[in-house]
Amino acid sequence: MNKSNIIESYFKTKYLNIRPLILIAIGLLCGYLSERFLSGTQILMFIILAGGLTIYSFYRKDYILLLFVFSFLLGLIRVNVAYPKLNAENKCKVEGIICDTVSYSNNLYTIIIDNVKVNSEKVSGKAILYSGIKPKHCDFGDYVLFNSVREDINEDRYYYYLSKNITFISYNNTLILSRKGNCRGLNGILGDMRQWVSSSLDDCYGDNGGIAKALVLGDRSDITYEQMEYFNSSGTSHILALSGLHISIILAFLSVLLGKLEYNYRTTIIMIVVFIFGMITKFPSSLVRAVIIWICLTLSVPLRRKYDGLSAIALAFIILTLINPFNIYSIGFQLSFLAILGIILLRSNISSKTNKVFHKYISDSISSSLCGTIGTLPVMINSFGVINTYTLISNIVIIPLVTITMFPAILSVIAYSFAPELGRIIGMAGSLIFNIMTYYAEAFANLPYSQIEVGSPGIIAVIAYYCLMVVISRYWLKRGSARWITASACILIIIFSSIHMFK
């Protein structure tokens, strides 16, 4: 075998035609995860060992090992550099600039500040301060100074905050000083736009304003507890977070609107609009992932390259985690990537069966919902401890309604800017569809055994589960008995590793 062609031939002739970007993504993930289980001395030893392996693999021209080890080393270094160094005592003074609208939920006011200093020492990331008393004269862009008590929280929760770039958390805060911001800059303008869109949707949709803001802005803070429970129990809560579903609807809307323009002009305008939309919604990872994949697909045409879904999702993972390696601890981030991974791996196989039974639109809806559910199942069980029994059927019913509601939601905001009454009329039509969505979500949630409580699957079962997905996908090159023997082995490992879940 020619060593120089190892990336193209080695796995192709055996099990997988592995993509270099996939290898980099896996190496980075292993590097990020290793930080939680290694001490300072162990990390240094791992860096030295990985450096030695990198030199060895380069000398041996083993490019697969070289790429993996280098990516692992990069991930390990990146996550250690990103981990915040807080030397402050529990009681301290926290100052900074308010970088988001002060919100109220669960009897607490939430203030998020940037340019943070703790006891006059600069701190990376942002601080989130909770207060039972509404702080006076605290608006977006204002400088504030608080007497705070730093919260000691468990490691899992702290890593979740780090995924939001929040490094300081406090539930005990007293405002000392507030000074009106003089220069709000681009963040101030975007904050005003978000606030205007939010208030417009509230005016247009009334009681359904919370759902409208979730679909358009990704803001779920105003959804009622009952509504959220209905969507959670029916397995459709993912529609209330900005994701590939929502960006695909927006892209379809823009493509129809700009359909007569030349391809290059149309693509450029769409990119600009999507970028502005991303800035307004604060670039949630699920939205950025969808946009990166769409850009890869779009650029494949003028560059005359074949689009590859696995490479595109790997590129999105690499970009988002290099920016913030703690993204991997966000449930939304995990679900977003695993859902699209399930669709990429399994949809072609499942669609070939459902197309024989259903109309193409229904077949696509069934296959996408089923593949997304399969891809996210282990994380859903591990995070929430339940299996949503009717999630496939509920998604087939409710997702088309989301497609219908996105158009009036966007149109109502546009119309409200020059004719508020017209925006309200469009909002009334949209509210009717929102009521239907909520009705179906409630109906599925109230069915017997809509949720089955189970234990958490073990790490071995999870690894075997995703190996099984790869083995039964079109990317697995082995056919016939070899494939089914491997698949059967994965299934047996999953069964024996997951028996404890149902005890």
User: pLDDT for 81-120, tens place per residue?
Assistant: 888 876 656 788 888 888 877 777 777 888 888 888 888 8
Residues 157 and 105 in one domain: yes
Six-digit token string for 482: 């070899």
Note whether residue 240 is domain-resident. Answer: no
Note whether residue 351 is domain-resident. Answer: no
In this structure, the number of other CB atoms found within 10 A of the CB of residue 401 comes to: 18
220 by DSSP, 3-state: which?
A: coil
Phi, psi dihedral angles at 104 (to 5 degrees): -130, 125
* Alpha-carbon distances of 412 from 243, 281, 309, 453, rounded to whole Å: 21, 17, 34, 40
**β-pairing verdict for 166-179 and 451-453:** unpaired
Residues 46 and 59 in one domain: yes
Six-digit token string for 245: 């579903």
Note whether residue 407 is domain-resident. Answer: yes
**pLDDT score recorded for residue 13:** 45
Q: Name 128's bridge partners.
A: 112, 169
Burial 371-380, CB ≥16 within 10 A → b, else e: bbbbbbbbbb
Residues 221 and 170 in one domain: no
Note whether residue 222 is domain-resident. Answer: yes
**pLDDT score recorded for residue 498:** 77
What is the separation of C-alpha 165 from the centre of its chain, rounded to a whole number of angstroms?
14
Dihedral angle over CA of 189, 191, 193, 197, nearest 10 = 180
Residues 96 and 178 in one domain: yes
Residues 402 and 439 in one domain: yes
Residues 190 and 176 in one domain: no
Angle between helices 20-34 and 309-323 (to 10 degrees): 30
Six-digit token string for 430: 């949209």
Note whether residue 178 is domain-resident. Answer: yes
479 by DSSP, 3-state: which?
A: coil
**Structural domain count of the chain:** 5
Note whether residue 411 is domain-resident. Answer: yes
Residues 260 and 315 in one domain: yes
**pLDDT score recorded for residue 87:** 63
Note whether residue 345 is domain-resident. Answer: no
**pLDDT score recorded for residue 88:** 58
Residues 23 and 52 in one domain: yes
**pLDDT score recorded for residue 382:** 81
Residues 100 and 159 in one domain: yes
Note whether residue 381 is domain-resident. Answer: no
Burial 239-258, CB ≥16 within 10 A → b, else e: bbbbbbbbbebbbebbeeee
Return all residues near 77 (Cβ < 8 A) that are at least 6 apart: 31, 47
Q: Kindly state the DSSP code that residue 16 receives in the 8-state scheme.
A: B
Angle between helices 391-418 and 360-384 (to 10 degrees): 100
Residues 101 and 72 in one domain: no
**pLDDT score recorded for residue 81:** 86
Query: Domain ends where: 40, 55, 82?
Result: 82
**Which residues of the chain fall short of a pLDDT of 50?**
1-11, 13
Residues 99 and 179 in one domain: yes
**pLDDT score recorded for residue 325:** 93
Dist. CA 201–CA 430, nearest whole Å: 11
Residues 473 and 426 in one domain: no
**Domain carrying residue 489:** 459-502
Answer whether 127's CB lies under 8 Å from 161's CB: no
